[in-house]
């Protein structure tokens, strides 16, 4: 049985959402953050040497890292859903936006979070914020051209990307006032039944940050 170990208010919400979109059987185990450190509790950290979210177990397999987990689930359980095939016109776009989320946006947002707290008025802090601003500007521009990041259809590239546009803002403080295309996109995401189910199951006490 596929088990999604979900740390509250974390990137593992994407894995819950992926399973809901695919309609596959899975078990969800929720873990509350430590009240003092805001990190994962000991039983969560014991699952994998990284101790970070997300983590899944599937029989004898224990796997961390969002991209690896999503590719594992898509390959093993996805039945070719939510992906763009190599011979399709939008394949390169799908690959770019799928990897842009964790390759560029999340590092930029983590840097921005640190910058806001420690380096805000220093040159390095301003440079880190510029990276974050550039990532959001690119996403805004893309969503002015197409309804979903890979093109006309909703894909796994959207699932991996939405966390940085929503829940991550609880840590960074960023608003979406200057990003109407992102706001319209998140309205479409928020209307998806699978997204609604995932957020209610994973973080029932937190309203999705869709605006």
Check residue 122 and report its DSSP letter: S
Q: Are residues 121 and 51 in the same domain?
A: no
Secondary structure element (H or E) that encloses residue 96, with its range: helix 91-100
Please identify which residue in the block is written with the tokens 């898509």.
74
Q: Are residues 165 and 135 in the same domain?
A: yes
Q: Is residue 47 part of a domain?
A: yes
Domain that holds residue 122: 91-192
Q: Are residues 76 and 120 in the same domain?
A: no
Final residue before a domain boundary, out of 81, 101, 125: 81
CATH number at residue 64: 3.40.30.10
pLDDT tens digits along 40-82: 999 999 999 999 999 999 999 999 999 999 999 999 999 999 9
Q: Are residues 96 and 179 in the same domain?
A: yes
Q: Is residue 205 part of a domain?
A: no
Q: Is residue 200 part of a domain?
A: no
User: pTM for this structure?
Assistant: 0.93
Q: Are residues 152 and 75 in the same domain?
A: no
pLDDT tens digits along 101-154: 999 999 988 877 776 665 566 666 666 677 889 999 999 999 999 999 999 999
C-alpha dihedral sign at 83, 58, 11, 195: positive
Residue 179, phi-psi category: left (phi > 0), alpha (psi -120 to 50), beta (remainder):
beta
Encoding tokens for residue 146? 């197409």
User: What's the confidence (pLDDT) of residue 64?
Assistant: 98
Peptide bond into 145 cis (omega under 30): no
CATH number at residue 157: 1.20.1050.10
Please say if the pLDDT value at position 98 is more than 90: yes
Encoding tokens for residue 118? 């420690």
Are the C-beta atoms of residues 194 and 156 closer than 8 Å to each other?
no
Number of domains making up the chain: 2
Q: Are residues 74 and 121 in the same domain?
A: no
Rounded distance between C-alpha atoms, residue 131 and residue 121, angstroms:
15
pLDDT tens digits along 189-209: 999 999 999 999 999 999 999
């Amino acid at each position: 049985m596929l088990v999604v170990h979900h740390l509250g208010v974390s990137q593992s919400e994407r894995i819950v959402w992926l399973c809901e979109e695919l309609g596959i059987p899975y078990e969800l185990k929720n873990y509350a953050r430590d009240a003092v450190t805001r990190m994962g509790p000991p039983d969560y950290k014991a699952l994998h040497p990284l101790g970070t979210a997300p983590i899944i177990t599937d029989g004898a397999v224990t796997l961390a890292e969002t991209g690896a987990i999503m590719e594992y689930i898509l390959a093993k359980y996805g039945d070719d859903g939510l992906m763009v095939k190599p011979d399709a016109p939008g394949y390169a776009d799908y690959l770019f936006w799928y990897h842009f989320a964790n390759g560029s946006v999340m590092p930029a947002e983590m840097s921005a979070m640190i910058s806001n707290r420690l380096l805000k008025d220093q040159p390095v802090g301003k440079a880190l914020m510029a990276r974050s601003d550039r990532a959001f500007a690119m996403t805004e521009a893309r969503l002015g051209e197409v309804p979903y990041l890979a093109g006309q259809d909703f894909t796994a590239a959207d699932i991996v990307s939405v966390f940085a546009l929503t829940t991550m803002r609880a840590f960074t403080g960023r608003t979406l006032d200057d990003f109407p295309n992102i706001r319209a996109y998140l309205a479409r995401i928020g209307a998806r039944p699978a997204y609604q189910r995932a957020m209610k199951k994973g973080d029932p006490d937190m309203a999705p940050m869709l605006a």
